[in-house]
Structure 1
Amino acid sequence: MNKLRFGTRMGLAIALVTLAGCGAFRREDGQPVETRPASEIQDELIYGDRPRPQSTFFDLFRPRPDAGQVGAINKYIWNASLQVLDFLPVQSVDPFTGVISTGYGTPPGGGRAYRATIYVSDPALDARSLNLALQTRSGPVSPDTLRSVEDAILTRARQLRQQDSRF
């Protein structure tokens, strides 16, 4: 009977010591210790103190940025805008802010001159990413005309994206 009590007490004592030791690796405020991202640790192990090269074999396994972006805009909407409105002379282009300004031009087979300002505001291939201001010499165009030009640009952007995904 004494051996059974002694064994039980020793087992309980070992369990308590083990549990008490688990709290030794916490910070004093009870928060877990923060570690660096795995990519930084991996780079340090591979390169040491040397600077990381521009491109390595390990870049194949890292996440890549979206190929549909030029700066912070969608390249498909950008290129589609230039292609659909190619009859308008381009006056200024800024791919980093997403603004294209054109001068007056007449579409093939049309008699009225138009001018456009295109603003691509988002990297998503979405109708909300395209803002188009279209006007004639006598003032703004009708909403139906504006909507049909926007639809043509977005349709062409989707076609360009489909062509790009085939490669």
Structure 2
Amino acid sequence: MLCALGVAALLGACSDSDSVRNVGRDEYTSQSGRDRVRGRLTGQDDGVVLFGTSRNSSAAADAGAPSGGAGLGVNAYLWRATLDTLSFMPLASADPFGGVIITDWYSPPGATAERFKATAYVMGRQLRSDGVRVSVFRQVRQGNNWTDALVTPATAAELEDRVLARARELRSQNTGS
């Protein structure tokens, strides 16, 4: 029974309804959308490099490092700011390679009949205003079952604004020291 409810909640969260989605489909399928994303993963020192590999294969070869590794990562300020901003919710998973942070369900104190879940996408190595996207999901309790409910689009936008403000704060602290 619990498994069936989990599957139903998962399928409900994947709904294709315009009222549930925060992002339009044409943003990912149009040529202009691809052009906007193409320039984000450029720059030598604009993100986190994992496992000490260099993004520049000639620099890695000059340093005597193997050139077969890929230096995947996301912007350190956006990543840390996203984790800080969503820290009030329990963390389900965090993937620094793909830039995805998924929280578990969270019920605010005093509101046991509703719960929230968030998924954040850090979308590149540069600190840009469009470098983070947050999707928020909400469910309300009806009897013994949780059913999907609408989320105000301003909720996700407010979380994104808080992430960006925190990222700017982290960057200014880092450059000031």
Q: TM-score, normalised by structure 2?
A: 0.52
Equivalent residues of 1:134, 1:140 under 8 A apart: no
Question: How has the CA–CA distance of structure 1 residues 162 and 113 changed in structure 2, closer, same or farther, with 3 Å as cutoff?
Answer: same
Amino acid at match of 2:135: A
Take 2:80 and 2:93, find their aligned partners in 1: how far apart are those partners? Answer: 15
Equivalent residues of 2:95, 2:101 under 8 A apart: yes
Q: Which has the higher helix share?
A: 1
Take 2:80 and 2:150, find their aligned partners in 1: how far apart are those partners? Answer: 24
Name 1:132's counterpart in structure 2.
Answer: 134
Take 1:89 and 1:130, find their aligned partners in 2: how far apart are those partners? Answer: 19
Q: Secondary structure at the match of 2:105?
A: coil
Identity within the alignment, %: 37
Take 2:150 and 2:77, find their aligned partners in 1: how far apart are those partners? Answer: 26
Q: How many Å apart are 1:143 and its aligned residue?
A: 1.0
- Aligned: 1:82 with 2:83: yes
- Aligned: 1:155 with 2:165: yes
Equivalent residues of 1:69, 1:75 under 8 A apart: yes
Equivalent residues of 1:87, 1:106 under 8 A apart: no
CA deviations on 1:63-110 (whole Å, 9 max, x unpaired) are x94164243311111111111111111111110110111111135x67
CA deviations on 1:102-133 (whole Å, 9 max, x unpaired) are 111135x6734210111111111112211111
Q: TM-score, normalised by structure 1?
A: 0.55
Which 5+ residue runs of structure 2 have no aligned equivalent? Answer: 1-42, 50-71, 140-147
Which gives a bigger RCO, structure 1 or 2 (Cα 8 Å, sep 6+)?
2
Amino acid at match of 2:81: A
Q: How many Å apart are 1:140 and its aligned residue?
A: 4.3
After superposition, the CA RMSD in angstroms is: 2.1
Name 1:146's counterpart in structure 2.
Answer: 156
CA deviations on 1:21-60 (whole Å, 9 max, x unpaired) are xxxxxxxxxxxxxxxxxxxxxxxxxxxxxxxxxxxxxxxx
Equivalent residues of 2:48, 2:73 under 8 A apart: yes
Name 1:92's counterpart in structure 2.
Answer: 93
Equivalent residues of 1:121, 1:131 under 8 A apart: yes
Which 5+ residue runs of structure 1 have no aligned equivalent? Answer: 1-63
Equivalent residues of 2:46, 2:127 under 8 A apart: no
Alignment of 1:6-155 (within 5 A): 65-66=44-45, 68-70=47-49, 71-107=72-108, 111=111, 112-137=114-139, 138-155=148-165
Take 1:96 and 1:88, find their aligned partners in 2: how far apart are those partners? Answer: 21
Larger radius of gyration: 1
CA deviations on 1:2-39 (whole Å, 9 max, x unpaired) are xxxxxxxxxxxxxxxxxxxxxxxxxxxxxxxxxxxxxx
